């Protein structure tokens, strides 16, 4: 027996022992009325059966893959340094095509028909035409995408977004 077979055999032995313990647990559980247990726990017996079936399917796949040839280990994911924002790239993309509400708001802000009081999220409509339906949410969405600045003026990125929205409508 080579040195490589030792750890693999112990791993396979551990998997077999785990599978044997699971089988014994399932055997013990099958001797009781699962429907009564599920109802006593306040669960739907059919849903519990589905969970058990899914868990069994998952275990079968895991055990089938355990015997497959070992792939080279991939480098471990390095955690972000302390203080680094791990959600940094999770926000909306400034290159999104605006929704109809966002596009209409960008057009109204760009034309001056709507304004935002500097330092606030208060959106005011000037002149003719309807005002926004959800002013606070709309201002937040536009700011998050950097389509408007803190004073409510349409940014260069916002003008490009307005151009994408107009092109998509045309």
0.95 surpassed by pTM: no
Please report which confidence band the pLDDT of residue 84 belongs to, taking 50, 70 and 90 as the band edges: low
> pLDDT tens across 109-145, in order?
898 888 888 777 777 888 777 777 777 788 888 888 8
pLDDT tens for 10-27 read: 778 888 888 888 788 777
By C-alpha distance, which of 89, 25, 87 is closest to 55? Answer: 25
DSSP H stretches of helix in the chain? 5-30, 34-40, 45-66, 100-111, 135-144, 156-169
* Residue ranges of domains in the chain: 5-66, 100-169
């Amino acid at each position: 027996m080579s040195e490589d077979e030792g750890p693999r055999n112990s791993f396979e032995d551990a998997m077999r022992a785990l599978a044997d313990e699971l089988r014994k647990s399932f055997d013990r559980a099958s001797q009781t009325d699962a429907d009564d247990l599920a109802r006593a726990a306040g669960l739907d017996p059919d849903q519990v059966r589905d969970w058990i079936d899914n868990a069994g399917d998952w275990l079968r796949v895991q055990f089938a893959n355990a015997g497959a040839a070992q792939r080279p280990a991939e480098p471990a994911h390095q955690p972000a340094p302390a203080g680094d924002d791990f959600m940094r790239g999770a926000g909306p993309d400034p290159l999104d095509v605006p929704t109809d509400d966002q596009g209409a708001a960008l057009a109204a802000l760009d034309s001056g028909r709507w304004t935002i009081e500097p330092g606030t999220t208060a959106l005011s409509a000037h002149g003719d035409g309807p005002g926004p339906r959800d002013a606070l949410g709309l201002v937040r969405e536009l700011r998050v995408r950097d389509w408007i600045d803190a004073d409510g003026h349409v940014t260069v990125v916002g003008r490009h977004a307005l151009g994408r929205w107009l092109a998509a409508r045309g």
